[in-house]
A and B are shown apart, each in its own frame.
Chain A
Amino acid sequence: MTDEKSERHPADTRRTPDATMSLLNELMTHTMDEGYTEAATRKRDDQSSGNGGGGAMAAAVLAMFGVLVAVAFIETERAAPADAEERSQLIERVDVESARVEQLRESVATLQEDVSTLQGDLASVTGSSNDLNARIQELSMRYGTEPVSGPGMVITVDDASGGDPTGEVLDTDLQALVSGLWAAGAEAVSINDQRITSTTSIRTAGAAINVNTRSLTRPYVIRAIGNPATLPARLAETPGGEAMWELRINAGVRYENEVATEITVPGRSMSRLRYADVPKGSE
């Protein structure tokens, strides 16, 4: 058994060297329906005279085939114009959309350019706006519209006790004192929480002294921000400081001053400049 098998094996492989191609071989060689050959052999065995070709049944089948082909042809013909139209519409749409894409691409490039330009602008504007904010802050403090705080001195001035008219504090005394403070290096001054600004007036109106057109009540508390180490000494050397000292000694006016490490001088809301402007030609 085993011997026979081993003998047969090489013979088999020799017979079918293209065994793996059997499917394709089958396809190529058995193209005709095998029913024909079988029917032919059967007929030969029966010895009956077959009706060869051209029978009525074959004619009927061929007629059906004809109908099939004709209908397929007509169907294709019918669909052709619609297909062509669809195709041309599709091509048109592709063209339109391609043009649109091109246009959008161009606008993207333009917009990107704009974006980078604007970013540059924004950077420079932000920079200059920061500068301007810092400058506004500083000017507001100088001008007196913003409250400021820092070290300085607090001076309290009041009329002499006893109701003597010579011991009364006048507007000119306060003017001299404030001028003395400015001269002594004060950076911000207020009297009874009225900030002294470039447009402040100190004058008597009736029985009271008005600062910033507000009547003051005694005692007068003057706050000045400046170097606490030098401010009192320098004030004493100014005419305003000397005058106050004399009033204190001669007329009994109350005059006290003390140094403070942290005092706050309020701001004063001021109207906008409506008439003053930078002279033409100077920037």
Chain B
Amino acid sequence: MIAIIGLAVGVIAGLLITPDVPLWMQPYFPIAVVAALDAVFGGLRALLDGIFDDKVFAVSFFSNVLIAAAIVYLGDQLGVGSQLSTGVIVVLGIRIFANVAAIRRHLLNA
């Protein structure tokens, strides 16, 4: 419950404060969001599996975000930025779909 409240507080704070994203960060921001989404769904699935752990969730969240951004940054430096972001999105998308499927099985038994 406290987690959902935290999420709501975060969303409202983000909408109210509307911090300006620095220009150099803008290309990596959407990738970071997708990576964070993956971590959140992974955590949700772990919660439903009954093996959720605060520390693992926090670490996976930050490492996902940072690694996704770092991969895209590296790709930009190598000149294959758009291709690498596509690859990252595909991999994260597959994981998110699989996790959501597991969550659905838990919640709906189907």
Instruction: Name A residues whose Cβ lies closer than 8 Å to a Cβ of B.
Output: 27-28, 31-33, 35-40, 43, 50-72, 74-75
| Cβ contact within 8 Å between B56 and A39 | yes
Chain B residues whose C-beta falls within 8 Å of the C-beta of A64 in the assembled complex: 10, 61
Given A36-B49, A53-B52, A66-B9, 13 other A-B residues pairs in contact with their CB atoms under 8 A:
A28-B94, A31-B95, A33-B60, A52-B50, A55-B2, A55-B54, A58-B57, A61-B58, A65-B61, A66-B8, A69-B10, A70-B13, A71-B19
Q: How many residues of B contact A (CB 8 A)?
A: 52
| Cβ contact within 8 Å between B53 and A66 | no
| Cβ contact within 8 Å between A27 and B2 | no
The verdict on A72 contacting B52 (CB below 8 Å), with A31-B95, A66-B11 known, is no
Q: 9 shortest A-B CB distances, which residue pairs?
A: A66-B10, A70-B14, A59-B6, A63-B10, A40-B51, A31-B98, A66-B11, A35-B56, A67-B14
| Cβ contact within 8 Å between B53 and A50 | yes
Q: Complex formed: what's the CA distance from A60 to B14 in Å?
A: 14
Chain B residues whose C-beta falls within 8 Å of the C-beta of A65 in the assembled complex: 7, 10, 36, 39-40, 61
| Cβ contact within 8 Å between B26 and A70 | no
Chain A residues whose C-beta falls within 8 Å of the C-beta of B98 in the assembled complex: 28, 31
A27, A36, A38, A60: the one within 8 Å of B52 (CB): A36
| Cβ contact within 8 Å between B10 and A75 | no
In the assembled complex, how far is the CB of residue A23 from the closest CB belonging to chain B, in whole angstroms? Answer: 10
Chain B residues whose C-beta falls within 8 Å of the C-beta of A68 in the assembled complex: 10, 14, 32-33, 36, 65
| Cβ contact within 8 Å between B19 and A58 | no
